Amino acid sequence: MGNTLDKHRRAFLIQTAAGVGAVAAGAVPEAQAQTPQPASMAPASAPVQPVGKGAGVGAFLNIDNAIAVEAMAERIMPGAAGKPGARDLGVLNYIDLALAGPYARLQEFYRLGLAQLDAYCNSEFKGGFADLTAEEQDKVLLALQQGKASGFEWPTAKDFFETVRTHTMEGMFADPIYGGNKNYGGWRLVGFPGAQAMFNKDDMETNGPFVREPIVGLQS
């Protein structure tokens, strides 16, 4: 049952990503710019700056929060044999670096969202999100998505889920210069070619996925 659910989830998200050229093209999207925040909790937005490769987790998230975020991202976009998931593609690194920079305004949003998530998971399943089984994690994510998870005030359960899901997709498919999409695995997953020195006649006329090397990003 779990493997079937994972396949359907992956197929849906990959199909969605394939239709969003702006994400694959490179710039970190401003998808959550309008997330409501109390005035006292709304830090000024930092300018969007690409980050270099090799930066590790710890730019903003502590170890406990990083473990929870990575577990959430992996259940949102699970890996499979020969197909990378959120953990494989470094989505955690992307989110951590984004929260330390261009998404700094969402730091308190994540802090409180993760604290409320931990309280809810311990109340329902006697463990943190990362400690739960895949089936239990899916139940938690569904409760968040439907706004049915108790104990959430700000951010709401639904807003928190949708923000993490959006950032997971960005980490999967944005240009690797932002810290995710490791080795262009997300682009290969959806057949996105990245920048190429040239496209030949067959490239321009095919309806199939683009598989020819090299795939080139902003850091090249």
pLDDT one-digit tens code per residue, 90-113: 999 999 999 999 999 999 999 999
Crossing angle of helices 134-145 and 2-18, rounded to 10°: 50
Residue 32 has pLDDT above 50, yes or no: no
Q: Has residue 33 been placed in a domain? A: no
Q: Has residue 220 been placed in a domain? A: no
The residue among 99, 126, 118 whose CA lies nearest residue 110 is 99
- 216 neighbors 194 (Cβ within 8 angstroms): yes
What is the model's pTM?
Answer: 0.76
SS3 37: coil
Q: In the predicted model, what is the mean pLDDT of the chain?
A: 79
Q: Has residue 135 been placed in a domain? A: yes
- 171 neighbors 177 (Cβ within 8 angstroms): no
Residue 64 has pLDDT above 90, yes or no: yes
Task: Give the pLDDT confidence score for residue 68 in this predicted structure.
Answer: 97
* φ, ψ at 95 (rounded to 5°): -65, -45
Q: Has residue 202 been placed in a domain? A: no
SS3 44: coil
Residue 145 has pLDDT above 60, yes or no: yes
Task: Give the pLDDT confidence score for residue 45 in this predicted structure.
Answer: 31
The pLDDT confidence band at residue 147, using thresholds 50, 70 and 90, is: very high
d(CA 69, CA 152): 17
> How many structural domains comprise the chain?
1
Q: Has residue 105 been placed in a domain? A: yes
Q: Has residue 27 been placed in a domain? A: no
Q: Has residue 199 been placed in a domain? A: no
Domain hosting residue 91, numbered range: 2-18+55-192
Q: Has residue 125 been placed in a domain? A: yes
Residue 57 has pLDDT above 80, yes or no: no
The pLDDT confidence band at residue 149, using thresholds 50, 70 and 90, is: very high
Query: How many residues would you count in the chain?
Result: 220
The pLDDT confidence band at residue 179, using thresholds 50, 70 and 90, is: very high
Residue 190 has pLDDT above 70, yes or no: yes
